[in-house]
Structure 1
Amino acid sequence: MTTVLTPASPLTAGDRCDRCGAQAYLRVVLISGGELLFCAHHGRKFEPELKKIAAEIQDETGRLNETPASTGDDER
């Protein structure tokens, strides 16, 4: 059997952590099927266990450190 993983869509503000309800920054596609979403905190906390059961982990925690583009004077 061949498993084909399609590219995951980016996580949005509407995607919530399955553990606490905060904004999700990690999507874990399970080997058994289905997916789990986690905030950065719970993603780090459960990382060792998740790696054992994950077919794929989409990690967007880098977005937390991005600096917003500066606004022009007319937008302030």
Structure 2
Amino acid sequence: MTQLTTDTPSVTAPAPLTATDRCDACGAQAYVRATLATGELLFCAHHASRFRDSIRPTATAWHDESAKLHRK
């Protein structure tokens, strides 16, 4: 039996943020997950906007669910 292997890493979607995910800056509900080489930071929409320019260039991923705030 031949086993197939691949060198391509699998890409998985980030886990959705829930009401229990809290902003690391103020404790409000988190809508943004910034993944850095050293770990993750969670932000509410306000703090994500405030820190985006300084964190995003070094982030390996920026998962933004702030559009949930505008749903009716």
Fold-level similarity (TM above 0.5): yes
2:30 is aligned, of 18, 24, 34, to 24
- Equivalent residue, structure 2, for 1:71: none
Any gaps of 5 or more consecutive residues in structure 1?
Answer: 68-76
Distance 1:39 1:60, change over 3 A: same
Distance 1:5 1:62, change over 3 A: same
Give the 3-state SS of the residue equivalent to 2:60 in structure 1: strand
- Equivalent residue, structure 2, for 1:41: 46
Between the two proteins, the alignment pairs up a number of residues equal to 65
Any gaps of 5 or more consecutive residues in structure 2?
Answer: 1-7
Give me the CA root mean square deviation: 1.7
Distance 1:36 1:65, change over 3 A: same
Aligned-pair identity in percent equals 49
Q: TM-score w.r.t. structure 1 length?
A: 0.77
Give the 3-state SS of the residue equivalent to 1:47 in structure 2: helix
Distance 1:4 1:34, change over 3 A: farther
Q: TM-score w.r.t. structure 2 length?
A: 0.81
Matches of 1:65 and 1:41, distance apart in 2: 14
Distance 1:43 1:4, change over 3 A: farther
